[in-house]
Amino acid sequence: MQERKDSTCKGIGVALFFADILFLYCFLPLCVGIYLAVKKTRNRNFVLIIFSLLFYAFGEPLMVLLLVASAFVNFLLAKAIAANRGNGYAKAALAAALIYDIGMLGIFKYTDFVIDNINALSGLSIEHAGIALPLGISFYTFQIISYVIDVYWEKVDAQKHFSKLLLYISLFPQLVAGPIVRYSTIEEEIDNRTVSISDLSAGATRLIIGLSKKVLIANSLNLLVQECFTDKLSGATVVGTWVGVIAYSMYVYFDFSGYSDMAIGMGRMFGFHFDENFRYPFMCRSITEFWQRWHISLGSFFRDYLLYVPLFGKRRQVLSLFLVWFTTGLWHGASWNYVLWGLYFGVFLFIETKIGKKRLKNAPSVLMHFYNKLVIIVGFGIFRFENMKELGVFFKNLIAAGGNAFITTETCDTILKYLTVIAVAVIACFPVVPYIKKRVENLSSRAQGTLVLASTAYTLALMFINTAVLVATSSSNNPFLYWRF
Amino acid sequence: MFCFCVFFPRTEESDNSTLKEFPTFSFATLMNGDFFSDFSAWFTDTVCLRDRFVDINAKFRDYFGITPHEQVIIRDESDTDVSEDEPWTPGVSESDSSSDMSEISKAPETSDTSQPDDSSADTSSTPPNESSETSISEISQAEKPVEVVNDVLIIGTRAMEIYYGSEENAKAFAAILNKFAAKIDEDVNVYSMVVPKACAFYISESKKYSKYAGRSLRDINTLSGALSSAVTDVPIYSILESHKDEEIYYRTDHHWTGLGAYYAAEKFAQTAGVDFTPLSSYTKKVRTGYVGTMYKYTNYSATLLNNPEDFVTYAPTSSYVATFYDQKLQNGRTHDLFWYVDDDHRSSWYSTYLAGDAYSVVIKSGTCTNGRKLLIVKDSYGNALVPYFVDSFEEIYVVDARVFSLSLTSLVSEKDITDVLFAECAYSAVGAYRNNVEALTE
């Protein structure tokens, strides 16, 4: 039951993703077990590299070579940059690296998109190249770009050992679906890290929470979304469309943040500390704040490497903004609706900067929240419908101009059928756990002990249900939404 | 958990689905990733206690919210049709020659009887018989193509398939029966019994599909109206309808119950003019906790899981000898009409009748000496009828049209058959099953 098939999904192996029994109960325990058995960090790195490449090969046997090749090319060029500081060769090496990296990404991801546009503009009928999209290429390409540019800017030293750079690029927790980890974040930890019991415990807990977000909440929401949007919206009511798109927004959040949680959790189990990628984005007061809480690693990547690079000069702010949001949208998918989605947010961000921080701060909370939720939710509608016709129908339905009923008993039935799911999802959007943690700080140590036991039992119960769901739905795979990037 | 998943015995079979098999290793499959994805699927599918996990997931989904009274399960066109997917057959071993006569051994699912297309309704309006059936071709041009939808419905706690039907296919089936009757000796009686599916009587409550409620009757009437004088209709629709508040169809399985079959058998015996043993003379056996085939087809709905039903069988008390043969009527072994279905195959209890559809059966009555010999040509619905005829006919031949390989025409003359009953459900009558019957009656 893949969410939808489109050209960007071609040829992606679904094997061995995190939400998979083989991965969770075979691959991961083996990896952690061997990792901990081996003592020296150097050997541990070796273990991680082997497992990471195995992990990648499981999904894409041939493309693993591309991954290694990309790492190697950038390794050499980064060394060239470091060796040639001060003279023009450094810049040339940087340019070469960027051309290679972006070029690879472009070829594998955007060839068919470009062909489609050429066809549309020129009336030709060039056939699709049908190039399969290698797993995680959008993520590891950006990671490697961040490394090379950081070397050029002298923020980090060029890595002398290829294996260590390969470790950074191929590390399996964040390889497939992010977060986009900066080299500077883990530069130290590549050589120096320890794993304590609390690391293992915290990491495992994070992993299970992330898995639950994906398997229990996101997948369930997806079922609701599919029921709301059946038949390309032909029968969808107005209320149904709204419910569907709200559910879809939450689905994307739980799906993606779930995977990020799993990545962070797994990294922790190996002693790495990745930065957070999501910080309760729906708690935002403005769109600006939303993008500071959503897919933080991507936003900061564009901010650091694209926006502040004075490509168009300091005065050409609009053009820079346009470029950033154009590429943000385009990164998400090789289709115009994604670009539209990016630009859509760019517009609102621009408006907000024009209004000014002070005025936004003083605006009434309710109004702010209502406004930004509306923008976000409609935005996700744009995100979902790659087909422009369907997108049009979607918009018409939202404002009850599509000729469909406002509400039917079927819609009511559907909402009732997923009532618990919706309730749990909405509650989970709030920072419940931090809130509880704060309140618990003042309790007695005995109470705290009980709480720890309770939360452990809760986590284990979650894992049990996750297992059941994964076993039961194995044939109807619910692949992660963001892995086609 | 690691040890559990890796070292515990793999789940060998699952009643409710075809488990993924261990993938074959080759360089090609390794390179394109198929081996790994199949391996992963196999690993997950065959986890120990798999069916328990499936149940837990079903119950978990039940907590999603308030389950509506009517649930429509929309199934992909690529999903297997309910009627085609034959459940496990007890006592059938992998090798063809069943030399092992004594044991009832657990056996892998017999999946070789799969139909090429679904038997619920035909899409095309092309003439079913290219030959001289001009009346059929005329009609087929007029009629619009029929929808094919795989949806399954749950109303309250009853699951049912949706019968769309096709009048022209009903006529086509009748034509085949007519042809057969004309071919064989005119002293032989030919009967047609079309069993309506559960939806005929229980779908009127549905908000979405009640408009199809009348289709079963429509097609049954069309079929009987198209029968020649050489074929006698056995009208069971109204009889079943009068008993519809009794347990005549399973709620969690796509078959009818022993009781439903009894009423139909009674009517047949009446039509055929043979003796018939009333229900009170049978031994009633009740097995509780049945969650049948529809559990899978409703995507493992907790509604069915939480509302199992009783599986009631009526075993004849009089003596008989039942021999089970292969599809060429060779290699027979004797056995009771009823077979034991173990607990692992919790959705296949209907296979207790004649061990499902894998065998051809010959029953010699210990009590009846009226010289009548019955040949039943059936799909799985016919199985439940058989126990009620052991006192009515001296000899009974039971063959499944989908797997039998001998010619019926020859069989009738060789074995001195006096009565031929075509008993199948409405789906089969208007579906591809007709091609099987045609092939056997050529």
Mean pLDDT of chain A: 84
B317–A contact, CB cutoff 8 A: no
What is the model's pLDDT at position B237? 94
Can you read off the two tokens belonging to residue B371?
């010289």
Contact B64 A25 (CB under 8 A): no
What is the rounded distance in angstroms from the CA atom of residue B329 to the CA atom of residue B322? 13
- Mind listing the pLDDT tens digit for each residue in B1-38? 444 444 444 444 444 455 556 666 666 656 666 777 77
What is the rounded distance in angstroms from the CA atom of residue B402 to the CA atom of residue B435? 9
| Mean pLDDT computed over A276-289 | 91
| Mean pLDDT computed over A415-431 | 90
Question: Which residue's entry shows tokens 């039940």?
Answer: B62
pLDDT band at A192 (very low <50, low <70, confident <90, very high): confident
Chain A residues inside the 8 Å CB shell of B47:
21, 471
What is the model's pLDDT at position B329? 92
What does B271-336 look like in DSSP terms, one character per residue?
HHT-----GGGSEEEEEEEE--THHHHTTS-HHHHTS-EEEEEEE--S-EEEEEE-TTS-S-EE--
Which of the residue ranges A198-212, A401-415, B319-333, B386-400 would you say has the lowest mean pLDDT? Answer: A401-415
* Cα–Cα distances in angstroms (integers) from residue B107 to residues A122, B13, B25, B335, in the given order: 62, 9, 25, 17
Q: Hey, which residues 461-480 in chain A have their CB within 8 Å of chain B?
A: 465, 467-475
Chain A residues inside the 8 Å CB shell of B40:
15-16, 20-23, 58
Can you read off the two tokens belonging to residue B16?
């409710």
Q: Could you tell me if B339 and B361 are in contact, meaning their C-beta atoms sit under 8 angstroms apart?
A: no
Quick one: DSSP state of residue B131? S
What is the model's pLDDT at position A411? 84
* DSSP β-ladder status, B373-378 and B395-400: parallel
Contact A472 B57 (CB under 8 A): yes
pLDDT band at A252 (very low <50, low <70, confident <90, very high): very high
Residue in A closest to B63 by C-alpha: A420
Contact B41 A469 (CB under 8 A): no
Question: Which residue's entry shows tokens 């795979």?
Answer: A477
A382–B contact, CB cutoff 8 A: no
| Mean pLDDT computed over A413-419 | 86
| Higher per-residue pLDDT: B439 or A6 | B439
Q: How many angstroms separate the CA of residue A257 from the nearest CA in chain B?
A: 21
Amino acid at A354: K
Angle at CA of residue A290, ends A416 and A323, nearest 5°: 125
Flag whether pLDDT at B409 surpasses 90. yes
Residue in B closest to A215 by C-alpha: B57
Q: Could you tell me if A335 and A8 are in contact, meaning their C-beta atoms sit under 8 angstroms apart?
A: yes
| Mean pLDDT computed over A185-199 | 87
What is the model's pLDDT at position A437? 80
Q: Which of A30, A61, A467 sits opposite B30 (nearest CB)?
A: A61
- Mind listing the pLDDT tens digit for each residue in B49-101? 777 888 888 888 888 877 777 777 776 655 556 665 555 677 654 333 333 33
Q: Determine the residue among A208, A217, A415, A471 to mutate to test chain B binding: the one whose Cβ has the most chain B Cβ atoms within 10 Å.
A: A471
Residue in A closest to B70 by C-alpha: A413
pLDDT band at A85 (very low <50, low <70, confident <90, very high): confident
Q: Which of B32, B43, B63 sits opposite A22 (nearest CB)?
A: B43
| Domain regions of chain B by residue span | 2-48, 134-440
| Higher per-residue pLDDT: A444 or A305 | A305
Which residues does residue B231 pair with via DSSP β-bridges, in sequence order? Answer: B190
- Mind listing the pLDDT tens digit for each residue in B32-49? 667 777 777 777 777 767
What is the model's pLDDT at position B398? 96
Mean pLDDT of chain B: 79
Q: Could you tell me if A113 and A84 are in contact, meaning their C-beta atoms sit under 8 angstroms apart?
A: no
Chain B residues inside the 8 Å CB shell of A22:
39-40, 43-44
B371–A contact, CB cutoff 8 A: no
- Mind listing the pLDDT tens digit for each residue in A370-405? 999 999 999 999 999 888 888 888 888 888 877 778
Chain A residues inside the 8 Å CB shell of B207:
409
Which of the residue ranges A135-139, A168-172, B147-151, B390-394 would you say has the lowest mean pLDDT? Answer: B147-151
| Mean pLDDT computed over A260-267 | 93
Helix H or strand E encompassing A42: helix A41-59
Question: Which residue's entry shows tokens 């090789």?
Answer: A334
What is the rounded distance in angstroms from the CA atom of residue B442 to the CA atom of residue B432? 16
B36–A contact, CB cutoff 8 A: yes
Q: How many angstroms separate the CA of residue B37 from the nearest CA in chain A?
A: 4
| Mean pLDDT computed over B185-198 | 93
Taking chain B, what is the end-to-end CA distance rounded to the nearest angstrom? 58
Q: Could you tell me if B294 and B69 are in contact, meaning their C-beta atoms sit under 8 angstroms apart?
A: no
Chain B residues inside the 8 Å CB shell of A56:
none
Can you read off the two tokens belonging to residue B161?
């398939």
- Mind listing the pLDDT tens digit for each residue in A11-20? 233 334 788 8
Residue in B closest to A31 by C-alpha: B2
Contact A420 B65 (CB under 8 A): yes
A59–B contact, CB cutoff 8 A: yes
Phi, psi of B88 (to 5 degrees): -60, 145
| Mean pLDDT computed over A48-76 | 88
| Mean pLDDT computed over A400-419 | 82
Contact A474 B60 (CB under 8 A): no
Contact B43 A413 (CB under 8 A): no
Active site residues of A: 332
Q: Which of A15, A216, A467 sits opposite B37 (nearest CB)?
A: A15
What is the model's pLDDT at position B229? 93
| Higher per-residue pLDDT: A387 or A441 | A387
Flag whether pLDDT at B186 surpasses 60. yes
Residue B300's SS3 state is coil
| Higher per-residue pLDDT: B221 or A124 | B221
Which residues does residue B320 pair with via DSSP β-bridges, in sequence order? Answer: B365
Residue in A closest to B37 by C-alpha: A15
What is the model's pLDDT at position B110? 33
Residue in A closest to B30 by C-alpha: A61
Flag whether pLDDT at B113 surpasses 70. no
Contact B44 A420 (CB under 8 A): no
Give the CB-side neighbour count of residue A247, counting CA atoms within 13 A.
28
Contact A16 B36 (CB under 8 A): yes
Chain A residues inside the 8 Å CB shell of B45:
474-475
Contact A25 B50 (CB under 8 A): no
Which of the residue ranges A291-305, A403-417, B337-351 would you say has the lowest mean pLDDT? Answer: A403-417
pLDDT band at B260 (very low <50, low <70, confident <90, very high): very high
What is the model's pLDDT at position B30? 63
